[in-house]
Chains A and B, each alone.
Chain A
Amino acid sequence: MTAVQAPLALEAIGVTKRFGSITANDDVDLQVEAGTVHALLGENGAGKSTLVNILFGLYHADEGEIRVAGKPVRMDSPRDAIAHRIGMVHQHFQLVPVLTVAENVVLGQEPTRGLGVLDLDAAAAEVTRLAERYGLDVDPRAVVEDLPVGTQQRVEILRSLYRQADVLILDEPTDGLDPNQKHEVRNLISEMSAEKAIVISTHILEEVDAVCSRAIIIADGRIVADGTPAELEQQSPFHNAVLIDSPDDGLAEALEAMANVALVEELQGGRFRAYPKDGQTIVVEIADLIRRRGWSTSRLSVEPPRLDEVFRNYTKPKGKSGGKSDRGKAA
């Protein structure tokens, strides 16, 4: 790993958690810097939720260490996590349906007029202030159960903002939202990431591309891949592969003859896909080749980045080691 000057906002070292005979997390490491958005990718049941619950003090790790701002911490309950300025937005919203937005936001850290008497006006004012600052549209006096899902999510996020969390953990933040709401939440995440370290647990890959600066893939409780979305995409079997609609019968042989082409695959309708050796860029040379031969083609394109292929490679059912993607197997 690269040396880091400022202490990491949140760090997990060798975290292991077992439920009976099942190992939900197996020697998991995680490093989250302030100002970045980390994705935890994995299938349902891969161990993402276990890890985020450990990071928020809901579960206690059997082995390993959690560090906040460089210091080892012990978290036995969410109260400890909140004290260490870790906030969490749960997949199944942890809001009390019959209470108002303001009551839910301040719950556990209420403003008072002294002697434990609630100051709900101050709570409502604080919620309004935070909502305006982050451009969220929420009525502090509305009762939560009357609100649509997208608004309830905003209330969850406001709650973490109210607690001035430095580290924000979001479990499946766009699950069940419509496309507009998803877009809004992603914008909000990007905005918040300027001053916070954010961890997103998700199985939605477009989310990773959209907002994350780093992604970790978890399978069977282990971390199987760790890198920027671009780095991970390079591990796709389709990385830098080129699609060509055949202009001439001689194309396949000509491509196969090229030094840095690993494999040529014939697709339907006279279309070919050329895979490069070691992920090199081959599209320029193929364009050259077509120009030299005087062919014309209606299609010559590089495969778009496909994180889903990487993800599938790593999370395939048992039998695959998953340690390395095996290129060219597609043919």
Chain B
Amino acid sequence: MTTLAGRLVRYRWWLVVIIGITAFTLFTGDFRLDPTTAILAATLRHSTPLVLGAMCGILSERSGVVNIGIEGQMLMSAFAGFMVASGSQSLLMGVAAGITVGALMGAALAGLSVTLKGDQIIAGTVLNIAAIGLTSFFFTQGRSLPGKTPIIRLGPLADLPVIGKVFFINPPITYVSLLLVVALWYALFRTTWGLHTRAVGEHPSAAETVGISVVRMRYLNLILGGAIAGLAGAYLSLEAVGSFERGMTNGKGFVALAVMIFGRWNPVGAWGAALLFGYTNAIQTQFQFRGWFTDHPQFVGMLPFIVTIIVLAGFVGRARPPASLGQPYDRE
């Protein structure tokens, strides 16, 4: 099946999907270069917080802990990033604060679910509710940022047609998220850390019998994952919007979970899934530009959620989560 024909047969449905999406994109882009490029660039932009959130989920769940608190981690970090950046007038400090708060939220989840062995769904819900409450309570109007994170042109690569504008003219967190996808994939499947993480998530007592500390690995991964969710939060307030609004994550942390599942707990798969979700958002904007469905904009607005439902209904049953997901580990 390694022949080209064999591959074509094996991936025929993916080919149909890719060709279909390409045709649809060209159609909505009016078969002109600039609008089509804009759709693709918006796709990447919308996918960034989703793929970062999904990578937080992958780190947690690959080590055996359900994390439905991504939404809360992102919201709290978006808030912390905004407050610190507006206070210090330094975006870099803001991003660092977002990452730090995300990591702390990850540590809190680890404390509740690993050390106290509480129900992981409830622990995640606690994070979400705490984030909504705390950010709404402490947020004050009238603060402003020194701008947004700057767009960086990557030299001659930025001059490439289509691809240059989509991938090589972006702000910093977007670049970092793309690097993280590759780095996390490599770390998960090619390093001892990744092997230990997967072992702990699949069969914690087996990992423990060969001297791997389940508690240590789960803490490490939840904190690292929290830091990545923190980066997603910083992206929202400091890179995408340039401000903070109450509830600004708007369900992105939950969509990130769908992205994680659709991507089969694999960073590269999750990136593909995030692009699909980002695409549904990008296409919405383009519809508005073209003046389509203006009588019933709510149907266009439903698109990302319809895709979420289709993905979850179609893939959750078939995707195979880490075997010990959701179970607190107890040695004696």
Residues of A bordering B, CB below 8 Å: 56, 58-59, 77-79, 82-83, 88, 90, 94-99, 103-104, 107-110, 112, 116-118, 159
In the complex, what residues of A have CB within 8 A of residue B210's CB? 78, 82, 94, 107-109, 159
Q: Is the CB of B190 within 8 A of A108?
A: no
Task: Give residues 187-217 of B contacting A (CB, 8 Å).
Answer: 190-196, 198-199, 202-203, 205-213
Contacts A77-B211, A117-B191 known; 9 new A-B pairs at CB < 8 A: A78-B210, A90-B209, A96-B198, A97-B203, A107-B195, A108-B196, A108-B210, A117-B192, A118-B195
CA distance A103 to B190 in the complex (A): 11
Contact of A96 among B191, B193, B199, B213 (CB under 8 A): B199
Q: Is the CB of B208 within 8 A of A96?
A: no
Q: Is the CB of B211 within 8 A of A78?
A: yes
Q: Is the CB of A97 within 8 A of B332?
A: no
The tally of CB-CB contacts under 8 A between chains A and B is: 74
Contact of B206 among A82, A83, A96, A109 (CB under 8 A): A96
Q: Find the B residue at minimum CB distance from A83.
A: B211
Q: Find the A residue at minimum CB distance from B210.
A: A108
Q: From known contacts A94-B203, A96-B203, A97-B203, infer whether A110 and B195 are also in contact, taking CB-CB under 8 Å.
A: yes
In the complex, what residues of B have CB within 8 A of residue A103's CB? 195
Residues of B bordering A, CB below 8 Å: 190-196, 198-199, 202-203, 205-213, 323, 331-332
In the complex, what residues of A have CB within 8 A of residue B205's CB? 94
Q: From known contacts A99-B198, A99-B199, infer whether A107 and B207 are also in contact, taking CB-CB under 8 Å.
A: yes
CA distance A95 to B194 in the complex (A): 16
In the complex, what residues of B have CB within 8 A of residue A82's CB? 210-211
For the complex formed, measure the closest distance between the CB of A81 and the CB atoms of chain B, giving whole angstroms: 8
CA distance A56 to B210 in the complex (A): 11
Q: Is the CB of B208 within 8 A of A78?
A: yes
Q: Find the B residue at minimum CB distance from A110.
A: B192
Q: Find the B residue at minimum CB distance from A104.
A: B206
Interface of B is mostly: helix
For the complex formed, measure the closest distance between the CB of B131 and the CB atoms of chain A, giving whole angstroms: 33
Q: Find the A residue at minimum CB distance from B189.
A: A118
In the complex, what residues of B have CB within 8 A of residue A88's CB? 209
Sample of 16 A–B contacts (CB below 8 Å): A56-B209, A58-B209, A59-B332, A77-B211, A94-B206, A94-B209, A95-B203, A97-B323, A99-B198, A103-B195, A107-B206, A117-B190, A117-B191, A117-B192, A118-B194, A118-B195
CA distance A109 to B207 in the complex (A): 11
In the complex, what residues of A have CB within 8 A of residue B209's CB? 56, 58, 78, 88, 90, 94
For the complex formed, measure the closest distance between the CB of B185 and the CB atoms of chain A, giving whole angstroms: 13
CA distance A97 to B202 in the complex (A): 8
Q: Is the CB of B199 within 8 A of A118?
A: no
Q: Is the CB of A99 within 8 A of B211?
A: no
Q: Is the CB of B192 within 8 A of A99?
A: no
CA distance A58 to B192 in the complex (A): 23
Q: Find the B residue at minimum CB distance from A98.
A: B202
In the complex, what residues of A have CB within 8 A of residue B191's CB? 116-118
List 3 tightest A-B contacts by C-beta distance, closest first: A108-B210, A79-B211, A94-B206
In the complex, what residues of A have CB within 8 A of residue B323's CB? 97-98
Q: Is the CB of B193 within 8 A of A116?
A: yes
Q: Is the CB of B202 within 8 A of A58?
A: no
In the complex, what residues of A have CB within 8 A of residue B208's CB? 58, 77-78
Q: Is the CB of B198 within 8 A of A95?
A: no
Q: From known contacts A94-B203, A96-B203, A99-B198, infer whether A108 and B193 are also in contact, taking CB-CB under 8 Å.
A: no
In the complex, what residues of A have CB within 8 A of residue B213's CB? 77, 79
Q: Find the A residue at minimum CB distance from B331.
A: A58
CA distance A95 to B202 in the complex (A): 10
CA distance A266 to B33 in the complex (A): 105
Q: Is the CB of A108 within 8 A of B212?
A: yes
In the complex, what residues of B have CB within 8 A of residue A108's CB? 196, 207, 210-212
In the complex, what residues of B have CB within 8 A of residue A110's CB? 192, 195
CA distance A96 to B208 in the complex (A): 11
In the complex, what residues of A have CB within 8 A of residue B202's CB? 96-99
In the complex, what residues of B have CB within 8 A of residue A94's CB? 203, 205-206, 209-210
In the complex, what residues of A have CB within 8 A of residue B332's CB? 58-59
Contact of A118 among B192, B207, B211, B212 (CB under 8 A): B192
CA distance A97 to B211 in the complex (A): 18
Give the most central of A104, A109, A116: most B CB within 10 Å: A116
In the complex, what residues of B have CB within 8 A of residue A83's CB? 211
CA distance A110 to B199 in the complex (A): 13
